[in-house]
Amino acid sequence: MKALVFHQFGGPEVLEYLEISDPVIGPDEILVSMKAIGLNFADIYRRKGNYHLTGNSPFILGYEGAGVVEKTGANVQGISVGDPVAFADVPHANAEKVAVPIEKAIPIPESVSFDKAASVLLQGLTAHYLTKDSYAVKENDVILVHAAAGGVGQLLVQMAKLFGGRVIGLTSSMEKASVVKNSGGNQVFLYSDDWKRKVMEETNGKGVDVVYDSVGSTLEDSFAVTRIGGTVVFYGMAGGDPAPVDPRMLMDTSKTLTGGDLWNFLTSREERATRSAELFRWIEEGKITVSEPTVFALRDGRKAHQFLESRKSTGKILLRP
């Protein structure tokens, strides 16, 4: 099979499209012929060496995708050859075929395409736990979403609205601001503006109920626009590491800092199935809209990585085997 691989850490130029051996599945695994593969910032971090990778080179990136079951292991039940499945947390996805543990295989309903499943699972399940577990959004909550035009950001906006919240988005350009508005954002401010002042004015000096911060370096600013007793959810570092948070500030203002990591919620096959089913149902009912992805051929993985790193993308980037 063909796969996108690399032998040493570095920029997009280290990626190569090569012929390698097909995966050999175990008794509790299925072999999936890939139709669409999700590209995420975590892939960039792993390629650069910022995130730990196990095993030896050649390394294969990718943790998210969708395809058709080509073969099943001896112990596999409930999934058959020909079934459409997806996954959000299986390594070596940047290949024509992937060995998927049965507990991580997520059935795709007929109404959801391979592209849509590969576009929404990782980012959609992230937005799902953020709005239901990290901070359960309630009717009339005022929510501030960083990087609101990104893949997770657009879904966060929509889910917060679904639960009755009022959403303020932050983004970097007027083009991206229109994307946030189209996702249902009530108000959008640019990072280049005096956004902290504008957020406080928008909330009549009170501050927001919750901030979803995936930028990291903005954490101190996020607390500055959070109301007394409010919450900041820290779940990413796209802009760099945050400054240390003063616990005395938390005590004096009764504010809460909580972290979020998807892997702490996808702990069983049941969790994956339940959360994914709700996500797919919202899509089927039109409550959540997934923007059209930007698609690159898997062989053009270098170009896809360059595009993602350029920060020009809005929504999802997919690789097509």
Residue 147 contacts by C-beta under 8 Å, 6 or more apart in sequence? 153, 170, 171, 214, 215, 238
| Pairwise CA distance, residues 287 & 127, whole Å | 14
DSSP letter for each residue of 120-178: HHHHHHHHHHIIIIIS---TT-EEEETTTTSHHHHHHHHHHHHTT-EEEEEESSHHHHH
| Pairwise CA distance, residues 135 & 126, whole Å | 12
Structure tokens at 190: 């640019």
Helix pair 174-182, 151-162: axis angle to 10 deg: 40
Q: What is the pLDDT of residue 310?
A: 87
How many angstroms separate the Cα of 306 from the Cα of each of 16, 32, 44, 299, 312? 14, 27, 10, 14, 10
pLDDT tens readout for residues 161-217:
999 999 999 999 999 999 999 999 999 999 999 999 999 999 999 999 999 999 999
pLDDT tens readout for residues 187-201:
999 999 999 999 999
Cα angle vertex 106, ends 116, 22, to 5°? 90
Q: For residue 124, which amino acid is it?
A: G
Q: What is the pLDDT of residue 150?
A: 87
In the beta sheet, which residues pair with residue 169? Answer: 145, 188
Residue 156 CB neighbours (<10 A): 33
In the beta sheet, which residues pair with residue 34? Answer: 67
Q: What is the pLDDT of residue 42?
A: 86
Residue stretches of the chain with pLDDT short of 50:
none
| Pairwise CA distance, residues 213 & 211, whole Å | 6
Query: Among all chains, which residue has been given the structure tokens 């391979």?
Result: 114
Q: What is the pLDDT of residue 218?
A: 97
Give the pairing type, strands 59-60 and 2-6: antiparallel
